[in-house]
A and B are shown apart, each in its own frame.
Chain A
Amino acid sequence: MTTNVPVIDAHPTVPGLPKNYLNCSRGFMSWAGTLDHKRIGIMYLIGTLLTFLAGGVFALLVRLHLWEPHGMLFTNEKYNQIFTLHGAFMVFLFVIPAIPGALGNMVLPLMLGAKDVALPRLNLLSFYLWLSGAVLATLAIVLGGFDTGWTFYAPYSLYTNQAVVTIGLAIFLLGFSSIFTGLNFIVTTHKLRAAGLTWFRMPLFVWAIYATAILQVLATPVLGITVLLVAFERLYHIGIFDPRLGGDPVLFEHFFWFYSHPAVYIMVLPAFGIISETVSVHSRKPLFGYKLIAFSSLAIAIISFLVWGHHMFTSGQSTYAMFAFSFLTFFVAIPTAIKEFSWVATIWKGSIALNSPMLYTLAFLIIFAIGGLTGVILGALNVDLHLHDTYFVVAHFHYVMMGSIALAFFAGLHHWWPKMFGVIYDETLAKIACGIIFVGFNITFVPQFIMGSQGMPRRYATYVDEFHGYHQVSTIGAMILGSGVALMVYYLVASLLQRKPAMENQWGGVTLDWQTPTPPPLENFYAPPKVTHEVYDYSTLDLKTLQRPVS
């Protein structure tokens, strides 16, 4: 049973008075030099959305090229560069920084009832490190590109005659951007909680961002030293990863995946956090298993450090290590399943409002179930030997990266868009776009599961005729998916121009981020908030006005 949110009596925001964080100051420097977490969040949002669109264009080029078995657009070498660009842009410039950088910055201090993050200058530095990383990555394209895949595996990355050092430096900077963001959020969560906001009254988005931050701080430095070593290797040949000089490329893979498996959770945990919020607010129900979800985030963070070798089952790793890594991998499924079941149980018997954030959330729940379960399949040692480096893997991680994380990001974007800008987008177009994206996504990647299980290897510029049909369906799906995203960009930008005012509390949230004016003033709250309710307690919410009585 579904009911729509009653919005008739809700107060629209009054434009003009009093000033909010968007109109409190003007001019380029008021943004470029801002220490306000919300403005930094907006800058991250613009930046990461642009890199997402760039990465999306690279993806469409890849799919178009694969329309014909012998490739339509590029030489094989150029194709290698394009898919590398797609991977590197999406992973390092969009998926990792987008949710913490844009939505986390915007929402986390609001949810904690804080005036800002604990270290605002470091926050701005994080953004500029991200920006320098983005500029360097773009520069690397001009300097000859890079064709190593986003994984930069040695020894190929040591020998290829391309701009690997430049992109390595970019990744080093992006890594420290990510570290400083995580560090900042840990400190903020520990030290800047409002009065009465105990750990178990924190919204689950905060828990998720906190668990992510632990991973960012503890895993990313190893990526930093790894790309430095690759750079040294290329510059003065230290031999640590170079088999010509007695080095072992498998050590590179250990270092790389020590970071990059936890990095999968750096990407997906914030997405989980968003879903925990949207699923509760749009079902008007406290989260089922609040503590379980909170602790499962921490459990995932810790277990994710024990399983990285499942990416190396065909690399020459020892058989014993493979046993251990495969065995441990299955444990990740437990906390992840706890989350999925808790979300579904939250919806059950809820008063579901099918707003666009909820539609994106439901799409996430379906896609993530598939993305997660295919991951368990790949974690099984013997199955992975067959499926390794096939399109099955490609489809699996796109179900997680694009279908789950990007859709959760969209859910969060739609959920907090009215909060951020005080305007509301065209809800009908939003629902249509969500449908198009969901359909297009599945058309793109279901054929890839099938091709992969039949042996279509990933990263190839050409393929045998047997896969022609699958590739064409996949390409058509990608075009549908792309048009859905284009529609989304259109109505979001249009909402900023049309300026249709949003409600003070657009969806009827009860966490602190919805208890401040929309858009929030410069220091978030006019008076220091005191938390007296348990989290997700909708009992006192007036469904008509979506406001809590002032206590």
Chain B
Amino acid sequence: MSHDGHHSVVIPAPGPEFVPHTVAHHFDTPVQEFQSLKLGFWLFLATEILLFGGLFAAYFYYHDLYPETFREGGRLLSWKLGALNTSVLLASSWTMAMGVRSAQTSQKKKTLIFCGLTVLGAAAFMVVKFFEYKSKHDHGLVIFTELFSGYDEAAKQLPWFKDYDGAMANVPHGHMFFAIYLTMTAIHGIHVLIGAGLILWIMKGTAKGRFHAGYYLPVDLVGLYWHLVDLIWIFLFPLLYLVP
């Protein structure tokens, strides 16, 4: 019992390669701790949905206002790379789910392998993203080196959007699609990197034997975060690469 505040509840390790988990002093039971942190994390995920939701609202708002711009812009993105990245993320969601499952069943080695594969998936996603960005840069659709050059008041021109091929010449405010594309994919990409970092942290804890059937909560939560990253991409893919 932990009521006197001196003796905390300890979850024993299931084997010699694991370490026991001590329940935080202000919780009475491991279940209370588990459920509190999990509810807290779902609430955090809800805030992520609303944060991204603002960007989606902006997307729909301007998709309504400038439908041709979005249609033409969508054609300039490579749907093949988008589909490739979608598959990579979906597969990495699978490996993450398997990683959580391995932690739930105290399979240390498998947890490490599946988490490692998930990080590889994240890396692959970012590599594909890099080539995608590079192609946009080369065509003058998003000139990354000019992003912070400021608005050219005299020429009424955006330095980062030059559209060398004139592909967007016939639609109003051609930069608008690419501004939204860049903002959404960049913020999503930051989440991918954060997620990969968290998974690496989980792998470190797993290697030390901290996570097992009695206590796998951090693996579970990082898994949820990774699935959220996937979830957002599921909507980004058709909206940006296959503009309806």
Distance (Å) between the CB of B49 and the closest chain A CB?
8
**B47 at the binding interface (Cβ < 8 Å):** yes
Interface string of A4-40 (1 = CB under 8 A from B): 0000000000000000000000000000000000000
Separation of A179 and B45 alpha carbons in the complex (Å): 12
Output the nearest chain A residue to B158 by Cβ-Cβ distance. Answer: A237
Tell me whether A246 and B32 are in contact (CB under 8 A): no
Contacts of B182 in A (CB 8 A): 238
Output the nearest chain B residue to A236 by Cβ-Cβ distance. Answer: B147
Interface string of A227-269 (1 = CB under 8 A from B): 0010010011111100011111001001100000000000000
**B204 at the binding interface (Cβ < 8 Å):** no
Contacts of A149 in B (CB 8 A): none
The dominant DSSP class at the B interface is: helix
Contacts of A255 in B (CB 8 A): 54, 57
User: Of A68-76, A79-87, A218-226, A310-318, which stretch is located at the interface?
Assistant: A218-226
Tell me whether A225 and B55 are in contact (CB under 8 A): yes
Tell me whether A119 and B179 are in contact (CB under 8 A): no
Tell me whether A183 and B43 are in contact (CB under 8 A): yes
Output the nearest chain A residue to B65 by Cβ-Cβ distance. Answer: A248
Q: Which of A186, A226, A244 contacts B43 (CB 8 A)?
A: A186
Tell me whether B40 and A115 are in contact (CB under 8 A): no
**A116 at the binding interface (Cβ < 8 Å):** yes
**B150 at the binding interface (Cβ < 8 Å):** yes
Interface string of B161-190 (1 = CB under 8 A from A): 000000000001101100110110000000
Distance (Å) between the CB of A98 and the closest chain B CB?
22
**A289 at the binding interface (Cβ < 8 Å):** no
Count how many chain A residues have C-beta atoms less than 8 Å from C-beta atoms of the other chain: 44
Tell me whether A220 and B179 are in contact (CB under 8 A): no
Q: Which has the most chain B C-beta neighbours within 10 Å: A119, A225, A248, A528?
A: A225
Tell me whether A191 and B39 are in contact (CB under 8 A): yes
Q: Which of A188, A219, A240 contacts B62 (CB 8 A)?
A: A240
Tell me whether B50 and A221 are in contact (CB under 8 A): yes
**B160 at the binding interface (Cβ < 8 Å):** yes
**B3 at the binding interface (Cβ < 8 Å):** yes
**A114 at the binding interface (Cβ < 8 Å):** yes
Distance (Å) between the CB of A223 and the closest chain B CB?
9
Tell me whether B37 and A245 are in contact (CB under 8 A): no
Interface string of B21-43 (1 = CB under 8 A from A): 00011101000100111011001
Contacts of B158 in A (CB 8 A): 237, 239, 245
Tell me whether B179 and A240 are in contact (CB under 8 A): yes
Known contacts being A115-B26, A186-B39, A246-B172, is A240 close to B58, with CB within 8 Å? yes
Q: Which of B26, B57, B172 contacts A116 (CB 8 A)?
A: B26
Known contacts being A183-B40, A235-B148, A236-B148, is A218 close to B183, with CB within 8 Å? no
**B44 at the binding interface (Cβ < 8 Å):** yes
**A497 at the binding interface (Cβ < 8 Å):** no
Contacts of B197 in A (CB 8 A): none
Tell me whether B32 and A222 are in contact (CB under 8 A): no
Output the nearest chain B residue to A220 by Cβ-Cβ distance. Answer: B47
**A534 at the binding interface (Cβ < 8 Å):** no
Tell me whether A528 and B3 are in contact (CB under 8 A): yes
Tell me whether B54 and A221 are in contact (CB under 8 A): yes
Contacts of A229 in B (CB 8 A): 54, 58, 183
Tell me whether A232 and B173 are in contact (CB under 8 A): no
**A190 at the binding interface (Cβ < 8 Å):** yes
Output the nearest chain A residue to B51 by Cβ-Cβ distance. Answer: A221
Tell me whether A245 and B173 are in contact (CB under 8 A): yes
Contacts of B151 in A (CB 8 A): 237, 244-245
Output the nearest chain B residue to A241 by Cβ-Cβ distance. Answer: B58
Output the nearest chain A residue to B48 by Cβ-Cβ distance. Answer: A221
Tell me whether B183 and A238 are in contact (CB under 8 A): yes
Tell me whether A225 and B160 are in contact (CB under 8 A): no
Separation of A239 and B51 alpha carbons in the complex (Å): 19
Distance (Å) between the CB of A175 and the closest chain B CB?
10
Contacts of B43 in A (CB 8 A): 183, 186-187, 217
**B53 at the binding interface (Cβ < 8 Å):** yes
The A-contacting residues of B in range 119-150, CB under 8 angstroms, are 147-148, 150
Tell me whether B35 and A191 are in contact (CB under 8 A): yes
**A118 at the binding interface (Cβ < 8 Å):** yes
Tell me whether B32 and A191 are in contact (CB under 8 A): yes
Separation of A226 and B57 alpha carbons in the complex (Å): 11
Tell me whether B5 and A523 are in contact (CB under 8 A): yes
Separation of A122 and B36 alpha carbons in the complex (Å): 12
Contacts of A235 in B (CB 8 A): 147-148
Separation of A116 and B5 alpha carbons in the complex (Å): 12
**A192 at the binding interface (Cβ < 8 Å):** yes
Contacts of B25 in A (CB 8 A): 115, 523
Output the nearest chain A residue to B149 by Cβ-Cβ distance. Answer: A236
Tell me whether A218 and B26 are in contact (CB under 8 A): no
Known contacts being A221-B47, A245-B175, is A192 close to B36, with CB within 8 Å? yes
Tell me whether B36 and A187 are in contact (CB under 8 A): yes
The A-contacting residues of B in range 5-31, CB under 8 angstroms, are 5, 24-26, 28
Tell me whether A246 and B47 are in contact (CB under 8 A): no
**A184 at the binding interface (Cβ < 8 Å):** yes
Q: Which of B37, B52, B61, B180 contacts A119 (CB 8 A)?
A: B37
Separation of A221 and B53 alpha carbons in the complex (Å): 9
Distance (Å) between the CB of A304 and the closest chain B CB?
15
**B94 at the binding interface (Cβ < 8 Å):** no
**B66 at the binding interface (Cβ < 8 Å):** yes
Contacts of B156 in A (CB 8 A): 244
25 examples of A-B residue contacts, CB within 8 angstroms: A118-B36, A119-B36, A120-B26, A179-B47, A183-B40, A187-B36, A187-B43, A190-B39, A192-B32, A217-B43, A219-B50, A221-B49, A221-B50, A222-B51, A225-B51, A225-B55, A238-B179, A238-B183, A240-B180, A245-B151, A246-B65, A248-B61, A254-B57, A523-B25, A523-B26
| Apart from A190-B39, A229-B183, A244-B156: 12 A-B pairs, beta carbons within 8 A | A115-B5, A118-B40, A120-B26, A179-B47, A192-B36, A218-B50, A219-B50, A229-B54, A237-B151, A237-B160, A238-B182, A255-B54
Residues of B with Cβ closer than 8 Å to A? 3, 5, 24-26, 28, 32, 35-37, 39-40, 43-44, 46-55, 57-58, 61-62, 65-66, 147-148, 150-151, 156, 158, 160, 172-173, 175-176, 179-180, 182-183
The 6 closest A-B pairs by CB, nearest first: A246-B173, A225-B54, A238-B179, A221-B50, A221-B51, A115-B26
